[in-house]
């Protein structure tokens, strides 16, 4: 009652004498969820603020802890989180506030807050990505002429990040900074906590990459199956294509469907799908060439007979004529040779060589593409 006598909580300390210096520190209790779809994370933090109010000086060297419900009697900073989407103050069993007043007028004000905070993510290298998120603290109504923010102990003002254990991420580094927020209404104090999150890729290797590689290898089994076994080779090709399609759809369910994001996992799944589909097309070509020689022989014999008949008819019809068309026989033979040369381009003498070459070309090409892929996304 003595301290509150004549105290006006609507006026800040040092009114008309200079800005109030407010030191802040954070304890990160937990980071509960990180959402790539909503581009945000949810964290529970202990926010502690210190400032000096000369109107609260009392004799002695001790501090006084008062009930948190008495916060309505004191002036407190209007600190807020600008990137917060949703937030609340814990109130079990009472509102989680702490007020401690020291004899020199210093006030310690602590809160326990859970907030969902926006974090712009770049998912082009997902799941080998590294995200940088921030936690910003600003003053809502007091500008730089009224309030100045500072970290009480620099980077040591933030605790708890070193011991956090997250499901998909590991905290790589963090640091603090002091800046200003410029709006139309003026310049306001601003504190920023920067922290980098590195995604743990082992889960995705076991969940997506290894199954997709095994599907590609499974599609190569058809190269060792006889070309006469049409149902067996067709079944392997169609099954691997459908399974790969299902795997691609499942990998995209937990990610935003934005067209601007071509993710690393999409590129890899597309590569695997191309090789699997290519193996199916390889058998289609090989099977086509196994039946082509017989058809070409039949077509060639029919064409020869037709040509001979036409030549005989022309000879008979022109036998009585005195004038002969020069070069007629040469023209027919040249057309016949040209058609044979054109047909020979599309004829494979031994269709089994297609499978023999595919056994080497497909694994070599897939290994080469994998080396380029992992070098680019891991080191560039």
Domains of the chain: total: 2
Report yes or no on 49 lying in a domain.
yes
pLDDT for the residue numbered 48: 97
Domain boundary among 199, 217, 233: 199
Q: Are residues 229 and 361 in the same domain?
A: yes
Structure tokens at 157: 């003002």
Q: Are residues 225 and 365 in the same domain?
A: yes
Q: Are residues 217 and 332 in the same domain?
A: yes
Tell how far CA 314 is from the center of its chain.
Answer: 74
Report yes or no on 8 lying in a domain.
no
Domain boundary among 141, 173, 199: 199
The single residue listed with the structure tokens 């109130």 is 91
For each of the chain's 380 residues, which pLDDT tens digit applies? 777 888 899 999 988 889 999 999 999 999 989 998 889 999 999 999 999 999 999 888 888 888 888 888 899 999 999 999 999 999 988 899 999 999 999 999 999 999 999 999 998 999 999 999 999 999 999 999 999 999 999 999 999 999 999 988 999 999 999 999 999 999 999 999 999 999 999 999 999 999 999 999 999 999 998 888 888 989 999 999 999 999 998 887 767 665 557 899 999 999 999 999 999 999 888 888 777 655 544 445 554 555 555 545 555 555 444 444 445 555 677 776 776 665 555 565 677 788 889 999 999 999 999 999 999 998 88
Report yes or no on 14 lying in a domain.
no
Domain boundary among 142, 165, 199: 199
pLDDT for the residue numbered 176: 96
Nearest one of 160, 121, 142 to 36, comparing CA atoms: 121
Q: Are strands 63-66 and 79-80 parallel, antiparallel or unpaired?
A: unpaired
Q: Are residues 24 and 171 in the same domain?
A: yes
Q: Are residues 152 and 184 in the same domain?
A: yes
Residue 37 CB neighbour total at 10 angstroms:
11
Q: Are residues 264 and 354 in the same domain?
A: yes
Q: Which domain holds residue 52?
A: 20-199
Q: Are residues 288 and 335 in the same domain?
A: yes
Q: Are residues 88 and 232 in the same domain?
A: no
Structure tokens at 79: 């600190």
pLDDT for the residue numbered 260: 59
Domain at 347, CATH number: 1.20.58.390
pLDDT for the residue numbered 139: 96
Q: Are residues 232 and 148 in the same domain?
A: no
Q: Are residues 60 and 127 in the same domain?
A: yes
Q: Are strands 130-139 and 147-151 parallel, antiparallel or unpaired?
A: unpaired
- Asked whether 222 and 283 are in contact (CB, 8 A), the reply is yes
Nearest one of 64, 45, 167, 156 to 106, comparing CA atoms: 64
Helix (H) or strand (E) holding 117: strand 106-118
Report yes or no on 6 lying in a domain.
no
DSSP state, residue 90: -
Q: Are residues 265 and 303 in the same domain?
A: yes
Q: Are residues 175 and 112 in the same domain?
A: yes
pLDDT for the residue numbered 346: 54
Domain at 120, CATH number: 2.70.170.10
């Amino acid at each position: 009652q003595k301290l509150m006598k004549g105290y006006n909580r609507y006026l800040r300390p040092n009114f008309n004498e200079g800005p109030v210096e407010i030191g802040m520190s954070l304890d990160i209790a937990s980071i509960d969820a990180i959402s790539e779809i909503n581009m945000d994370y949810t964290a529970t933090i202990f926010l502690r603020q210190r400032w000096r109010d000369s109107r609260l000086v009392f004799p002695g060297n001790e501090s006084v802890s008062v009930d948190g419900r008495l916060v309505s009697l004191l002036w407190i900073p209007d600190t807020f989180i600008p990137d917060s989407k949703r937030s609340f103050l814990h109130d079990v069993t009472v509102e989680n506030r702490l007020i401690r007043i020291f004899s020199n007028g210093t006030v310690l004000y602590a809160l326990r807050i859970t907030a969902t905070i926006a974090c712009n993510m770049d998912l082009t290298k997902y799941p080998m990505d590294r995200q940088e998120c921030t936690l910003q603290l600003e003053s809502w109504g007091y500008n730089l002429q009224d309030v100045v923010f500072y970290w009480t102990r620099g980077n040591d003002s933030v605790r708890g990040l070193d011991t956090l254990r997250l499901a998909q991420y590991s905290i790589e580094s963090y640091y603090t900074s002091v800046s200003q927020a410029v709006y139309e209404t003026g310049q306001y104090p601003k504190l920023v906590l920067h922290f980098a999150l590195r995604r743990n890729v082992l889960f995705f290797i076991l969940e997506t990459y290894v199954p997709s590689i095994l599907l590609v290898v499974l599609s190569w089994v058809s190269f060792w199956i006889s070309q006469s076994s049409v149902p067996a080779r067709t079944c392997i090709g169609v099954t691997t294509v459908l399974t790969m399609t299902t795997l691609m759809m499942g990998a995209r369910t937990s990610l935003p469907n934005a067209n601007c994001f071509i993710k690393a996992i999409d590129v890899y799944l597309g590569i695997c799908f191309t090789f699997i589909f290519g193996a199916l097309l390889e058998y289609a070509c090989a099977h086509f060439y196994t039946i082509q020689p017989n058809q070409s022989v039949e077509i060639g014999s029919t064409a020869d007979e037709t040509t001979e008949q036409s030549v005989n008819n022309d000879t008979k019809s022109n036998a009585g004529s005195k004038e002969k068309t020069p070069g007629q026989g040469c023209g027919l033979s040249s057309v016949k040779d040209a058609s044979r040369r054109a047909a020979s381009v599309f004829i494979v003498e031994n269709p089994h060589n297609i499978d023999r070459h595919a056994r080497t070309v497909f694994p070599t090409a897939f290994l080469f593409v994998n080396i380029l892929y992992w070098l680019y996304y891991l080191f560039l």
